[in-house]
Amino acid sequence: MDGRARGYGTTARLLHWLVALLILLMIPAGYLMTGEGLARGTRDALFLFHKNVGAALIAVVALRLVWRLTHPPAPLPAHLPAWQRRAAGLSHAGLYVLMVVMPLSGYVRVRAGGFPIEALDRIGLPGLVPRSDALAQAASNLHAAAAWGLIALLALHLAAAAQHALIHRDGIWQRIWPPIRRG
């Protein structure tokens, strides 16, 4: 393999990009729905989207975590400096923590606030937290703070991916990008 890193399997790649897509849709929806100047119908549609996609995200992230724990990734290439290995490990751990904290804190905020999550209600899943304004506010604060942490780590993750793909061209990017078949 010319010293480059082995790639992730198809399932890991699909889960990575599905989670990425959902998160990248959730961030602007969350920002817009809490901003000023939107028509009520648009705001309501964004809240519905954000709550229900967030509920789906909990399931997809759980599946991704189980997959990652049962299918460890190939080791990073030996040419990477130790500090980059540590940075990659810490940033990935942070992303995983925030991918759990974000949808769970959103769930708690909505349910403790007494609001429905239509997709979960439709399948008969009962609310798992008590109605509590104090709990809803604490979860809302955590959700907002974690959102900024997630945005910062995503920016770092994307910058590192771009560096590996465009500058170093060392195979790190290709580990997770869907393989391109030529010929």
Q: Looking at 42-46, 74-78, 84-88, which range is the least confident one?
A: 74-78
Residues near 118 by Cβ (< 8 Å), separated by ≥ 6?
Answer: 48, 51, 52
Residue 177: DSSP 8-state: S
What is the pLDDT at residue 79?
A: 86
What CATH number does the domain located at 10-75+84-176 have? 1.20.950.20
Where are the domains positioned within the chain? 10-75+84-176
Q: Work out the pLDDT band at 173, boundaries 50, 70, 90.
A: confident
| Percent of the chain whose predicted confidence (pLDDT) is above 70 | 94
What is the pLDDT at residue 2?
A: 40
What is the pLDDT at residue 135?
A: 98
Report the distance separating Cα 47 and Cα 29, nearest Å: 8
What is the pLDDT at residue 4?
A: 45
Entry pTM: 0.89
Q: Work out the pLDDT band at 30, boundaries 50, 70, 90.
A: very high
Report the distance separating Cα 143 and Cα 154, nearest Å: 16
What is the pLDDT at residue 179?
A: 64
Residues near 61 by Cβ (< 8 Å), separated by ≥ 6?
Answer: 19, 99, 100, 103
Would the pLDDT of 130 be above 80? yes
